[in-house]
Amino acid sequence: MPKSQMNTTLNYSPNFDVKKRRVREVKFIIFHYTGMKKENQAITRLTNSKSKVSSHYLIKNNGEILTLVPDLYVAWHAGVSSWKNYKSINKYSIGIEISNPGHEHSYKKFSKKQIKSIIKLSIYLKKKYKIKSNFILGHSDIAPDRKKDPGEKFPWKYLSKNKIGQWHYLNEKKLFKKRNRIVDRLEKNKFIKNLYKIGYPKNILFNKYKYSKLLTTAFQRRFRQELVNGIIDQECLFISNNLAKNLK
């Protein structure tokens, strides 16, 4: 197999925009979980014209990679979403669904074979479309008001060792000591400001308090997976400071 080729199984979905996009328009990789009890149900849904949803790839429990939509067509996976100055992320992204029942149906660990395939596919896409590390994101990052996937079991830290996605380089023991330590009003504001700087969406439809809680939860699922409670503490603040400072 030549190195530039990915070994995937074709299983096309009719759910995509007819207009083809340019290579340089592909700027993001977005990860999802399928959130359905059975893998087959998810595949059926993503390839059924009535569902109006799809993704470019689906990674099965056994690590097999399905191609549902070719890269240069816009698949329908992200919905209302934004990151930095980009809105409607479908237009600019490759969507990868990973088979997992999700929070609604006994959320489970991603399998080793799935993680191996995630890494292989991401490295391939990153190179092919010159995708920046901090443009490799989860659905909940770009739609924190609506989405939980791929969730706090998604191996972001492990992936970052392969330069997939942004991560912090802080000492874990020091971080742990800051967990659950309260922050004052100024620090809360600083945390939210950091998140906007990193790229998280602003949202004027929600009240400020409620949205701040949703944003914090999304941030924790991504960067502080051991405790997801929607409460800003010193650990969250510290991580966000580090990420905001080290943006590429």
Query: Between 149 and 233, whose beta carbon lies closer to Zn ion?
Result: 149
Please report how close the Cβ of residue 32 comes to Zn ion at its closest, in angstroms. 3
> What would the two tokens of residue 97 be?
């669904």
Please report how close the Cβ of residue 115 comes to Zn ion at its closest, in angstroms. 18
Query: Between 56 and 139, whose beta carbon lies closer to Zn ion?
Result: 139
Please report how close the Cβ of residue 173 comes to Zn ion at its closest, in angstroms. 34
Query: Between 60 and 139, whose beta carbon lies closer to Zn ion?
Result: 139
The residue from 25, 39, 64, 97 that is catalytic is: 97
Candidates 21, 149, 148, 32; CA nearest to 92 is 21
The dihedrals phi and psi of 67, each to the nearest 5 degrees, come to -95, 120
Find the binder of Zn ion among 149, 152, 233, 235 (CB under 5 A): 149
Question: For this structure, is 235 an active site residue?
Answer: no
The footprint of Zn ion on residues 109-148 (CB under 5 A) is 139
Are the beta carbons of 235 and 120 closer than 8 angstroms? no
Query: Between 94 and 232, whose beta carbon lies closer to Zn ion?
Result: 94
d(CA 173, CA 34): 34
d(CA 18, CA 26): 16
- Stretch binding Zn ion (CB under 5 A), from 21-29, 30-38, 170-178, 210-218: 30-38
Per-residue burial over 166-176, b = 16 or more CB atoms within 10 Å of its CB, e = otherwise? bbbeeeeeebe
**Using rule CB under 5 A, residue 32 touches Zn ion:** yes
d(CA 59, CA 124): 15
Q: Which residues bind Zn ion (CB under 5 A)?
A: 32, 139, 149
Q: What residues are labeled active site?
A: 97
